[in-house]
A and B are shown apart, each in its own frame.
Chain A
Amino acid sequence: EAQVTQNPRYLITVTGKKLTVTCSQNMNHEYMSWYRQDPGLGLRQIYYSMNVEVTDKGDVPEGYKVSRKEKRNFPLILESPSPNQTSLYFCASSFGGLRNEQFFGPGTRLTVL
């Protein structure tokens, strides 16, 4: 089944404790991205990757890091999480970039205490 998977689905952590949210897709898509969804703000892009070893900032990159060492994986790293990073996070992938259908993962709900 073609899909985007994320782990963990739910995470409660404390301020300053490094964490990684994994994202994997099995559709051989070049383009992958991370979004955060907050009430009343819609979806905002954090980082994106056009292909392996190519990453770039989205609209809200502060406090996040990413890496793209393999085509299928695009982990999101929070080196020192803060409460304002409490949010619902979505990974997405597509063939050919933003002018084609984005396939979203199921989401990761993160709470930073």
Chain B
Amino acid sequence: GENVEQHPSTLSVQEGDSAVIKCTYSDSASNYFPWYKQELGKGPQLIIDIRSNVGEKKDQRIAVTLNKTAKHFSLHITETQPEDSAVYFCAATNADGLTFGKGTHLIIQP
């Protein structure tokens, strides 16, 4: 089956700085990589995703990069704001299903 490793488990950055969260996956057949944001007391919500035929995707302050050869993908958040504080999950989809990383708690320091 698929194995998704996510790092770091906790990330603290100053407001206005950038944050980077990294994930690796094991199954080269995985072809869809979503990122979810979970705020306290709520369900996860999709913030950005990337498919295996694309190397990078941007949406305003958020970007995701995918390196298929190395089997890793990363979430980049620029100009962080207090509302970016949350737990972020990466995931990978293969024929067996959707496998999530263990999550990163992002803390934005004022």
A positions within 8 Å CB-CB of B: 4, 40-45, 48, 58-59, 90, 92, 98-99, 101-102, 104-107
Of the residues B41, B42, B98, contact of A102 by C-beta under 8 Å: B98
Asked whether A40 lies within 8 Å of B44 as measured between CB atoms, the reply is no
Asked whether B93 lies within 8 Å of A43 as measured between CB atoms, the reply is no
Contacts across chains A and B counted by CB atoms under 8 Å: 49
Of the residues A59, A92, A99, contact of B93 by C-beta under 8 Å: A99
Asked whether B43 lies within 8 Å of A99 as measured between CB atoms, the reply is no
Of the residues B6, B44, B49, B97, contact of A45 by C-beta under 8 Å: B97
7 further A-B pairs in the complex, CB-CB below 8 A; given A104-B43, A104-B44, A107-B43? A43-B89, A98-B97, A99-B32, A99-B51, A101-B49, A104-B36, A104-B45
Closest Cβ neighbor of A90 among chain B residues = B43
**A41-B102, A42-B103 known; A102 and B46 CB under 8 Å?**
yes
In the complex, which residues of chain A have a beta carbon less than 8 angstroms from the beta carbon of B89?
42-43
User: Does chain A have a CB within 8 A of B100?
Assistant: yes
Asked whether A98 lies within 8 Å of B32 as measured between CB atoms, the reply is yes
B92 CB, min distance to chain A CBs, angstroms: 10
**A42-B103, A98-B98, A99-B32 known; A105 and B43 CB under 8 Å?**
yes
Closest Cβ neighbor of B96 among chain A residues = A59
Asked whether B46 lies within 8 Å of A101 as measured between CB atoms, the reply is yes
Closest Cβ neighbor of B9 among chain A residues = A40
In the complex, which residues of chain A have a beta carbon less than 8 angstroms from the beta carbon of B36?
102, 104
